[in-house]
Every structure is written in C-alpha cells, then in structure tokens.
Amino acid sequence: MSGINANKNILIVEDETQISRFLQLELEHENYSCTTCADGREALELAVARDFDLIILDVMLPSLNGIEVLRRLRQTKQTPVIILTARDQVVDKVTGLDIGANDYMTKPFAIEELLARIRLHIKLAATQTSSSITRGKLSVNPDARVATYDGHPIDLTKKEFDLLEFLMQNRNVVVSREKLLDAVWGFDFYGSTNVVDVYVRYLRSKIDDVYGDTVIETVRGAGYVIR
C-alpha cells in the first residue's frame, strides 16, 4: 500500500535532532525518501537545487528562519511546504500562509495527521493540471477529489464535494434543488429537497465564511448557481 510513496522525496528541515530523526523514521516507514537538514541557509540551497516533492519546514532554525527560507524559496519554486511551529507561535501561521506555505502544523503534532497532510499536498501538487475547474481562487479537482481556496485545501465531506463539483461543472447555470438532489443524492434518495439547502449552508460555512467570498448564489424560486 505504501509503495505509491516510493520515489517521493521529502526534505525535512528541523534542527531538533529528536524530532528530525522521528520524522525521518516515520516517513521512511511509509516508503518516502528523506533528506534531512538542520540549518536554514543550507535548507534553502538544497530546496532550490533539488526537486523535492514536499518540504517539512521548522520555523526556528539556525542561520535563516523557516519563514525566510520559505519567502526566498517562493521566488523561484512552488514545492509544497508544510511549516512546523511551536504551540505559541500563532503569528507564524498567518505569516507562513501569507507567504505561500501550503499548510502548517503545531508541535507537538500527531504523526498520522502530518502523514495525511503530506499525502494530500503531494497529491494536490501532482494534480495542478487542466483537469481542475477554477473560479477565482476556488479550485476543484474531480480526479483528485480535492477542493482548494487560494491554494489551501477545503475539508469537505463526500456529499459536500459532490455538490460543489456539480455546481462548478455547471458554471453560470441556475440549477434547481430537484436537479441537485438527483445529481448528488441520486434518484432513489428518499427525503426533502431541504437537504440541498442544508448542504449549501455547509459549503458556505466552509468557503464563504472562511474566505469572505460569495461562491454559491441563491436564485429565489429557482435554485443555486456558481457564476
């Protein structure tokens, strides 16, 4: 099962030997190839010179901090980066995401969660292709079944994703609740079309409310549309 990770190269940038070694062991157990580095400047050189599939980047590092490493890396490369921060460095999350981190995790973290995010970001990077449907900063990839806003993954359930995908596939078409119910829940779904409204609300809470956008418009008496 882990064979799919073979020949995926991950750069671990972490100056705390214990954490670095732990990450390396866990990732190698998942069949990733790892390169470790404990110094910011050295990490930047490595990241620019080689094509890693993903970089795990600690913030507090000797010679150049992780935020600065990321800022300089983004001038030339879009390698997925997951930032590691200490529990109290809240400011780093904002700064990190602002300058192009794909994700961030607070130490101490659950390794399973980090592994899940690594899988997601490697998959995302591999599918940044024409098969994505985009609307402004919103991007939906039906093949990878991943939705992102401004590059940040949106955590959607299966039905939420199906609904968003259907509306994205039908851009500028006002789709009735009945049609959405058939398309997403299936003809044999036994229930009220109110479920569509409920799921539109879920999507709005996960996209519009978070990013200050208005993705799905309500057309009174007719249905919903993404323009």
User: Which residues would be at the binding site for Ca ion (CB under 5 A)?
Assistant: 15, 58, 60
| Least distance between Ca ion and beta carbon 56 (Å) | 12
Q: Which two tokens stand for residue 212?
A: 């200050």
| Least distance between Ca ion and beta carbon 21 (Å) | 14
Which residue's CB comes closest to Ca ion? 60
In the complex with Ca ion, which residue's Cβ is closer, 53 or 92? 92
Q: Which two tokens stand for residue 130?
A: 């024409």
What sign does the CA torsion over 190, 192, 193, 195 have?
negative
In the complex with Ca ion, which residue's Cβ is closer, 60 or 174? 60
In the complex with Ca ion, which residue's Cβ is closer, 64 or 195? 64
In the complex with Ca ion, which residue's Cβ is closer, 39 or 213? 39
CA distance 216 to 225: 6
| Least distance between Ca ion and beta carbon 91 (Å) | 16
Instruction: Measure the CA angle with vertex 76, ends 84 and 102; round to 5°.
Output: 30
Q: Cα(first)–Cα(last) distance of the chain, in Å?
A: 40
Among candidates 110, 97, 39, which has minimal Cα distance to 70?
A: 97
| Least distance between Ca ion and beta carbon 80 (Å) | 20
The DSSP call for residue 66 is H
